Structures are given as C-alpha cells and as structure tokens.
C-alpha cells in the first residue's frame, strides 16, 4: 500500500467539481460539490444515530438500500435539518436536478448538506448551478470539492492510497469535513470514499461498518452528535479485479486500505476541532475486550474536564480515571497505570490507580506538543482500543457563540 494524490478523484473513473451557489449570504468561497463516477457503483453508507435526522439523511437512508449509486451532491452553509416535508422535497429536488443533467435516476444520487440547522435550504440556487457543476467535472475537481464541503473547518481533509487486490492495482480516495458538533456514532460529519475496486454491495457495507467502529466512531470533539452525520462509499470496479464477494485475502486487503484512510481522516477531524490547539489520542491496553477499551478511551477524550486540562497543560490524571469510571466500560480501578507521551518525551503520572511522584515541568512540556497520547494500561485482559479528540479552548466558545452570523 502506498499514498497517492487526488483524494476522491484518485480512483479510476471518478470526477469531481465545486463552485459557489450562494447558499449562505456573505460566503465568497465555493459551497457546493459534486462527485461522479463514469460507471455505476456499488454503494454503502452509515449515518447519524441522532433521532433528529436531517432531511437529506432520511433520503439517503432510503436510497442506500438499493446498494448502488453514481453521484453525490453536497452543499455547505445549510444543514437542511428540522425543515420538515418541505426540506425532504428540497433534498429530492437536488437529487433530481443532478440526475437530469447526468442521465441518472434520482435515487442514484446521494444528497448531503451541512451548516445551520432549522432554516429552509434555498434549493433554487443549487438547481441553477447544477449544469455548471456537471460541466466542471474533472480529475482536478477534488481541489474545489474538498473546499466546498467545509464550514468551520480550518483546513481541507483528504487522502488516497493504492493497494493490490487479486493481482490488480486498486485505488481508494476520500475527503471529509468536520470541526464541531462531533460525537460520532456510525458516521462522521460528512465523509465520502471512492474506489475503483470491484466489491459487492454486501461486502462493501460489511467493510464500511467494520472500519467505522474503530476509526470514525472513536472521535469526539465536543460530545454533540450531528443531525447530518454521513459517511458514503462508492465502488465502480474499474480496476478490473475479481469482484470481492466473501471474506478472503482480497477482502482483508480492501479492509486494510479502508482502515488506513479512515484512521487518517478521523485523526485530522479531531485535530481540527473548533478552536483546538492540541490533538489528544487515548490508547487503552490490557482491557477485557476491544469494546471496553474503546468505550474507556472515548470517555476520556470526551471529558470536558480532561480537554480543559490539556488546554492548560495540566497533568491532572485524576480526571482521566474519573472519566473512565462513568464510561460504562469494565475495568479494575486499582489496576490502572497512566502515562503521557509526545514528541517532547514521556512521563508516568499514575500507578495502580494512585498518585505517583513525577516531574511537573516535564509533564507540562509533554502536554505542550501539538499531539499528545494518553497511555492507559490496564491489567484486565489483552485487548486495546484508541480514540481521538482535542482540547477545549476559549475559541471554541467564541466560534459557537455566534455560529449563525
């Protein structure tokens, strides 16, 4: 496996574009993106488990059951959430407009939105630009597309890999957005994966759900689960490999590539948390099960007290044990060791669930790095899990205090 350029257009047969539709008044950057495959794809998706779902999410949940698609249209600036029957019709109109221009059925077009909740989406502005979106489709279109899906993100997020399946070279690329309102469960803020690997819809769905459990679902920035969380994957089979239809070595190669790009994107989303200054990774080892390890790790990075301590570069390890204690994960509190590690060194701050004399200056230096790992060692088993988050800063409050303006 090796990393390549191109994001969502890295794989054979995929094109993208992005432009400004003017959805949110005052925005001068592109706000609408289109991803298209020259060949029909198998498709799978995972979505928010929030009971309050955006209208576009409701539409995608229906359409993904077909197991196939060929295009994705995305807008930023308006979430099309809490907009009722009118909002659902708006989502349908977006799919229909793209389908009409590309000679596709509306159900072959996934529709995604992100932005302010509770305001009707001015769909006529998007409809007026769909023809230009289609005309702009190209192998360089990922550059505009990755920018068009951003809201409070400070940087675009994309990557791509090349890997081998059945003697053929396959490619897989992705782009995502996410900065705030992130406490992911079965999706991400918005994420899109494209691949030219041939894989059945059932196996594609299986791989996506397996990968998400240990990557995107292990990210929390602020504990708020979005109404729009969506992660979609399209596979057009243009690499020419024998179709993956069962769990074999080819499936494992595909899953390995998927895990690689999803892990990278999960970390980038965590690092770009609204107002964030530090990426926090929590690694729990020696747990009874992988599920317990992930529950414990995610509870630690989700804790506002832990996040605030990292902002202040305070090695307050007691908050870590506290967060583990209410997580619901099974562990022995009197058999917990905690250490901090970064490019500036490492220091153990807790042994067997109790205080341990340590160098405070060294700890402060370690916590000053852009990325710090919390190492939690248990003695309950042999499983491990990781989660990613960020510190809680003054800027987070500033950004979300006037988000609508």
Q: Of 206, 390, 380, 362, which Cα lies nearest the Cα of 304?
A: 390
CA 191, CA 211: separation in Å to the nearest integer?
13
CA 122, CA 36: separation in Å to the nearest integer?
23
Q: Which of 188, 194, 215, 227 is catalytic?
A: 188
Q: Of 264, 285, 267, 279, which Cα lies nearest the Cα of 339?
A: 285
CA 312, CA 297: separation in Å to the nearest integer?
20
Contact 165, 249 (CB under 8 A): no
CA 113, CA 177: separation in Å to the nearest integer?
11
User: 174 an active-site residue?
Assistant: no
Contact 301, 282 (CB under 8 A): yes
Contact 288, 331 (CB under 8 A): yes
Compute φ and ψ for 77, nearest 5 degrees: 100, -20
CA 292, CA 330: separation in Å to the nearest integer?
6
CA 337, CA 317: separation in Å to the nearest integer?
10
Which amino acids are annotated catalytic?
188
């Amino acid at each position: 496996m090796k990393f390549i350029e191109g994001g969502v257009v890295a794989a054979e047969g995929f094109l993208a574009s992005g432009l400004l539709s003017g959805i949110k008044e005052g925005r001068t950057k592109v706000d609408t993106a289109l991803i298209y495959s020259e060949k029909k794809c198998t498709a799978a998706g995972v979505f928010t488990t929030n009971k309050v779902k955006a209208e576009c999410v409701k539409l995608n949940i229906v359409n993904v059951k077909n197991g196939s698609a060929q295009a994705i249209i995305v807008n930023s600036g308006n979430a099309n959430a809490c907009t009722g029957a009118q909002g659902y019709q708006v989502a349908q109109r977006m799919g229909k407009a793209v389908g009409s221009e590309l000679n596709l059925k509306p159900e072959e077009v996934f529709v995604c939105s992100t932005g302010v909740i509770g305001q009707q989406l001015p769909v006529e502005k998007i409809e007026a630009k769909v023809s230009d979106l289609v005309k702009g489709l190209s192998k360089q279109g990922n550059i505009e597309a990755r920018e068009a899906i951003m809201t409070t993100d400070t940087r675009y997020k994309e990557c791509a890999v090349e890997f081998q399946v059945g003697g053929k070279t396959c490619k897989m690329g992705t782009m995502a957005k996410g900065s705030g309102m992130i406490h992911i469960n079965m999706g991400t803020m918005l994420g899109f994966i494209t691949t030219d690997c041939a894989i059945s819809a059932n196996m594609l769905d299986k791989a996506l759900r397996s990968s998400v459990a240990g990557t995107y679902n292990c990210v929390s920035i602020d504990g708020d689960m979005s109404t729009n969380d969506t992660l979609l994957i399209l596979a057009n089979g243009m690499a020419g490999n024998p179709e993956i239809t069962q769990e074999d070595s080819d499936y494992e190669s595909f899953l390995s590539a998927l895990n690689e790009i999803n892990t990278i994107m999960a970390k980038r989303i965590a690092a770009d948390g609204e107002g964030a200054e530090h990426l926090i990774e929590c690694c729990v080892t020696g747990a009874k099960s992988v599920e317990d390890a992930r529950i414990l790790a995610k509870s630690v990075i989700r804790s506002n007290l832990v996040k605030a301590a990292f902002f202040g570069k305070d090695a307050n390890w007691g908050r870590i044990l506290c967060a583990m204690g209410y997580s619901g994960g099974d562990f022995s509190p009197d058999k917990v060791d905690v250490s901090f590690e970064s490019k500036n060194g490492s220091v153990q701050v807790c042994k067997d669930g109790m205080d341990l004399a340590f160098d405070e200056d060294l700890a402060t230096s370690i916590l000053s790095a852009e990325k710090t790992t919390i190492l939690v060692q248990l003695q309950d088993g042999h499983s491990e899990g990781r989660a990613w988050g960020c510190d809680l800063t003054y800027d987070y409050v500033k950004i979300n205090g006037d988000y609508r303006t």
